Amino acid sequence: MINILANDGISESAIELLREKGFNVTNEHINQDSLAESINKNNYEVILVRSATKIRKELIDKCPNIKLIGRGGVGMDNIDVEYAIDKGIKVINTPKASSLSVAELVFAHLFGMVRSLYDSNRKMPMNGEKDFKKLKKSYSSGSELFGKTLGIIGFGRIGQEVARIAIALGMKVLAHDKTISEANITLKFFDDSKKTFTIETDPINTVLERSDFITLHIPKIDDKPVITAKEIKLMKTGAGIINTSRGGLIDEDILMFSLEKKKLAYAALDVFSNEPTPSIHLLMQENISLTPHIGAATREAQERVGTELAEKIIKFYNKK
């Protein structure tokens, strides 16, 4: 029997599917320090992770029985992918499963930003009873998303899903991608009718200069941020920026400075440079909408992630 460790959790439907096919699934979290010992002791051939668990060279070398590493999600920054492949280990992820969940979170932040919901939700419980009129006045200068320009940096599956929602809201869409020159975005309506829009990508400077909001959907290549003082300088004064992709893509110190100097009006972060202990100075910024890395964490996405992983595991072993 093939033993699988789902170290960062997996859906019950995926466990059932795997067990029906004869796999033994353990759905519990082992601390990073004890992970190698547990893998070897229980002869786990497959280890499934999300973003919490790291699969680095040292762990791979200590666990020669690993045949497959699965990442529930898109990015694999926490896995030494090339090293694993060189060792003959299959590495899989689930690029389709979480696109919609991440895209919807982008717009949850966007709506919250332009109407100051992130801030009013903090202050209403404390001051709403005594300062209602004052708070009403302070939050009465919001704006609408309709007609605004959304710049999407990274136009893969998630970026295209973001574009689909933006178009439906009546926003203008600009996009930048290093490898994709254009994409067809199809909107499906309640009556089963469809309409397709073709979006051609632009240079990153064009997207930065012309957008009212920027949203990032790119992998983290190295430790250098993609959005630095140079890029923020190109952005419109009063623009907003959202990062639901990878921590460290934005220089957080420069971001805080830009908000304090009112170069940027808002920011939203679901990911941070120092997860799981983000900077307290960043967390206390009044103009940042914050979530704790929950982009793909919806019930529906978790079901899709689990199913996609299970199907790929079954396919891998059926081929052997």
Q: List the domain boundaries for the chain.
A: 3-94+299-319, 99-290
Say if 3-94+299-319 and 99-290 have the same CATH topology: yes
Beta carbons of 157 and 219 less than 8 angstroms apart: no
**Strand, helix or coil for residue 96:** coil
- pLDDT at res. 77: 85
- pLDDT at res. 75: 79
- pLDDT at res. 222: 79
Domain 99-290 has CATH 3.30.70.1090: no
Q: Which two tokens stand for residue 134?
A: 């004052």
Single-letter amino acid, residue 268: A
CA 55 to each of CA 7, 91, 126: distance values in angstroms, whole numbers, following the listed order: 11, 11, 44
Task: List beta partners, residue 68.
Answer: 46, 90
pTM > 0.75: yes or no: yes
Q: How many CB atoms lie within 10 A of CB 95?
A: 15
Q: Which two tokens stand for residue 97?
A: 């499963």
pLDDT tens, N- to C-terminus, the chain (320 residues): 899 999 999 999 999 999 999 999 999 999 999 999 999 999 999 999 988 899 999 999 999 999 999 999 887 889 999 999 999 999 999 988 889 999 999 999 999 999 999 999 999 999 999 999 999 999 999 999 999 999 999 999 999 999 999 999 999 999 999 999 999 999 999 999 999 999 999 999 999 999 999 999 998 877 889 999 999 999 999 999 999 999 999 999 999 999 999 999 999 999 999 988 999 999 999 899 999 999 988 999 999 999 999 999 999 998 65
Active site residues: 246, 275, 293
Domain 3-94+299-319 CATH superfamily: NAD(P)-binding Rossmann-like Domain (3.40.50.720)
CA torsion sign for 44, 50, 53, 58 is positive
- pLDDT at res. 319: 61
What's the CA gap between 177 and 152, in Å, rounded?
9
Q: Which two tokens stand for residue 318?
A: 């059926």
**Strand, helix or coil for residue 292:** coil
